[in-house]
């Protein structure tokens, strides 16, 4: 889970919106699985997914 999040964050930091968008479904899946198994709270998983998507969308809007 942490590795998937790190890869998305690195793509965002490098300014590569397309790569971040492509990596996001795997990261979201990993977060959902962790929440389902009570590794993290479901609200934390939702919060992390929401914040990552906000960053990706901001990066895409900035590129346009």
Q: Which residues, including other chains, have CB under 8 Å from residue 64's CB and lie 6 or more apart?
A: none
DSSP secondary structure of 9-48? HHHHHTT-HHHHHHHHHHHHHHHHHHHHTTSS-HHHHHHH
Would you place residue 64 in the very low, low, confident or very high pLDDT band (cuts 50, 70, 90)?
A: confident
Averaged confidence pLDDT in the chain: 97
Predicted TM-score (pTM) of the model is: 0.92
Find out whether 7 and 53 touch, Cβ atoms under 8 Å: no
Percentage of residues in the chain having pLDDT higher than 90: 97
> How far apart, in whole angstroms, are the C-alpha atoms of residue 2 and residue 6?
6
**Spans of all domains in the chain:** 2-63
What pLDDT sits at residue 63?
80
């Amino acid at each position: 889970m942490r590795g998937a999040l790190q890869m998305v964050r690195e793509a965002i930091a490098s300014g590569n919106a397309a790569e971040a968008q492509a990596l996001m479904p795997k990261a979201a899946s990993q977060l959902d699985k962790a929440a389902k198994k009570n590794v993290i709270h479901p609200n934390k998983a939702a919060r992390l997914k929401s914040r990552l998507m906000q960053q990706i969308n901001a990066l895409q809007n900035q590129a346009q």
